[in-house]
Structure 1
């Protein structure tokens, strides 16, 4: 059984390995191995993960069973959108997908921002499993971007949003 808890410095190597595996499993067919490796090296480096861990008004969680980390999630209050929390990452190792781990991490992240009125995220339009997951959790499309994650990515994404209660 996996438990959702706040990530710590000691988790970063395992979180990085999880992100590399899930990104290649999910995105290689969309962008190619080289582009996924490039993005993973940039966005999922230990330094980038450490910066997320130390960010104020943010929550970084992992799903841990004491032996391995099966999932990770990161959300933070928006610096530009009022009363909006942005779900930046929610990933589960492929072998553990569809076991409720993503749901449990998402439920935890939803409760970490009591002042937020909505949650927003970006998702690859071709990632049908992620789209189905987010729609099942109350998200609806509110826009699109041609540069998911940063201004230079060249990765298209749908922008989804959900009202929080």
Structure 2
């Protein structure tokens, strides 16, 4: 898989990847209906399309020419030294193949002025937490509203850049 910038022609495949990955990861935690409601909102074509043109952001996909194996989206905060990793998802069939690391590496170099990369992760998502810790992230607190508007609690992890 190679990492490249996402385009509008990728949006249907990105949505499909996100829906499948979210159900595989979160159905047991939040239930099928809650996951469906979240993916219908957060991962709608309109929501994804808006991210393509968001200033000071990077929207990436991992592509092998036949299908997308992963995606990542990050954006600078009001403080340009802090970048928020909003999404990094790898299709369940493609996990543990280095795709997440490749996407994360590209996100990190996409913001040369940043000194910190921050993310929120579901506390029950042990696999994601282990991945992020293996990539140098450390605990930086908790939030009661993951992603702003979900009402879901999450851990906040950070990694120093540079």
TM-score band w.r.t. shorter chain: over 0.9
- The aligned counterpart of 2:159 is 162
TM-score (norm 1): 0.96
* Aligned residue number for residue 3 of structure 1: 2
| Partner in structure 1 of residue 113 of structure 2 | 115
Please show how residues 40-119 of structure 1 align to structure 2 within 5 Å: 40-79=39-78, 81-119=79-117
Secondary structure class of the residue paired with 2:107: helix
Residues 73-104 of structure 1, C-alpha deviations (whole Å, 9 max, x = no match): 0000012x451000000000000000000010
Give the structure 2 partner of residue 29 of structure 1.
28
The TM-score, its normalising length taken from structure 2, stands at 0.98
* Residues 80 and 113, structure 2, Cα contact 8 Å, conserved in 1: no
Aligned residues: 162
State the partner residue of 2:16. Answer: 17
Question: Could you tell me which residue of structure 2 aligns to residue 144 of structure 1?
Answer: 142
Q: Secondary structure at the match of 2:112?
A: coil
Which structure 1 residue ranges, 5 or more long, are not aligned?
none
Q: Of 130, 133, 140, which residue of structure 1 is paired with 2:131?
A: 133
Q: Which runs of 5+ in 2 are unaligned?
A: none
Q: How far off its partner does 1:38 sit?
A: 0.2
Whole-Å separation in 2 of the counterparts to 1:33 and 1:20: 11
In 2, Cα distance between the equivalents of 1:101 and 1:161?
Answer: 20
Output the CA distance in 1 between the equivalents of 2:147 and 2:125: 15
Secondary structure (helix, strand or coil) at the match of 1:113 reads coil
d(CA) in 1 for partners of 2:135 and 2:43?
Answer: 26
